[in-house]
């Protein structure tokens, strides 16, 4: 089945220790997104890639970076995680641009910062 | 500005209908979505409605859109215990820098289905 896969499902890191979260998709979609969802809050868009073009949200901290080496994979790098970065991180994809393009979400990676 | 609001909790009895409400503020929204999130899981797309529609029905789900009041609702008929989850409405914003499709989510409504 075509799908969006996130690994690992749970990630524990130490304060200040860089961590990378992974997302892959078998849908061959052009657009990939990363959302941050803190406890009991709505998901918040961090950034997205349209093909190789990176688009950062204005209020995304510099601590968060992303890489998309090919169509299938996208990574979220947190350079120096703080306690406030503990959250669920959701990856999503859409076939193309535009508001009519449905986003399909992965199961998420829950990050714990000790 | 972009602001999407939902009531936080809804409790219904199994077999009853559930109605989850959402209000949004951005008049340029063209698509409005409903997602379901079960505990510890990602978001599952339930349905969506285009802004030139008033209603959309999909099996047990009915979406109503009142553009004048910027009000969206999701009705679940014959609610089952498996429907217990958090339900997010989301609006799709036009004119995102660099393209893409920016979704602005509501705060989510926790639906609890009691026997």
Does residue A110 register a pLDDT over 80?
Answer: yes
Cross-chain residue pair B92–A110, CB shorter than 8 Å: no
What pLDDT is stored for residue B89 in this prediction? 95
| A97 compared with A10, residue with greater pLDDT | A10
Contact between B12 and B20 under an 8 Å Cβ cutoff? The reply is: no
Phi, psi of B91, rounded to the nearest 5 degrees = -110, 145
Q: Does residue B111 sit in helix, strand or coil?
A: strand
Residue B40: CB atoms within 10 A of its CB come to 11
Q: Hey, which residues does A88 pair with through a beta bridge?
A: A37, A110
The per-residue pLDDT for range B80-112, each reduced to its tens digit, is 999 999 999 998 876 555 555 678 899 899 999
What pLDDT is stored for residue A79 in this prediction? 96
Q: What mean pLDDT do residues A74-84 have?
A: 96
Portion of chain A with pLDDT greater than 70, in percent: 98
pLDDT level of residue A98 (50, 70, 90 thresholds): confident
CA dihedral (A21, A92, B101, B55) in degrees, to 10, reads: -150
Residue A52: CB atoms within 10 A of its CB come to 10
3-state DSSP percent of chain A in helix, strand and coil, to 5: 5, 50, 45
Does residue A93 register a pLDDT over 90?
Answer: yes
Q: Among B42, B43, B100, whose Cβ lies nearest the Cβ of A50?
A: B100
Q: Which of A15-24, A88-97, B57-66, B100-109 has the lowest mean pLDDT?
A: B100-109
Q: Nearest-CA residue of chain A relative to B3?
A: A42
The per-residue pLDDT for range B9-55, each reduced to its tens digit, is 999 999 999 999 999 887 666 789 999 999 888 899 999 998 888 99
Cross-chain residue pair A43–B98, CB shorter than 8 Å: no
Q: Which of A25-29, B29-33, B74-78, B89-93 has the lowest mean pLDDT?
A: B29-33
What pLDDT is stored for residue B1 in this prediction? 47
Tell me, letter by letter, the H, E, C secondary structure of A50-103. ECCEEEECCCCCCCEEEECCCCCEEEEEECCCCHHHCEEEEEEEECCCCCCCCC
What pLDDT is stored for residue B67 in this prediction? 87
Q: Is the peptide bond before A8 cis (omega within 30 degrees of 0)?
A: yes
Chain A residues with CB-CB distance to B93 below 8 A:
99
């Amino acid at each position: 089945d075509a799908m969006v896969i996130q690994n690992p499902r749970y990630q524990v890191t130490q304060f200040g220790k860089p961590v990378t979260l992974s997302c892959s998709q078998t849908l061959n979609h052009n657009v990939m997104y990363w959302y941050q969802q803190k406890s009991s809050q709505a998901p918040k868009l961090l950034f997205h890639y349209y093909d190789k073009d990176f688009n950062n949200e204005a209020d995304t901290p510099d601590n968060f970076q992303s890489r998309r080496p090919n169509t299938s994979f996208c990574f979220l790098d947190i350079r120096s995680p703080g306690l406030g970065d503990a959250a669920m991180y959701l990856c999503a994809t859409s076939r193309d641009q535009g508001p009519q393009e449905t986003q399909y979400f992965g199961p998420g990676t829950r990050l714990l910062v000790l | 500005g972009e602001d999407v609001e939902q009531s936080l909790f809804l409790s219904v009895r199994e077999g009853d209908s559930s109605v989850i409400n959402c209000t949004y503020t951005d008049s340029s929204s063209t698509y409005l979505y409903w997602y379901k999130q079960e505990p510890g899981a990602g978001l599952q797309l339930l349905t969506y409605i285009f802004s030139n529609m008033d209603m959309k029905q999909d099996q047990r789900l009915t979406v109503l859109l009142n553009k004048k009041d910027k009000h969206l609702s999701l009705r679940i008929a014959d609610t089952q215990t498996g429907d217990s989850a958090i339900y997010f409405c989301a609006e799709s914003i036009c004119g995102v820098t660099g393209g893409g499709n920016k979704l602005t989510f509501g705060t989510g409504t926790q639906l609890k289905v009691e026997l």
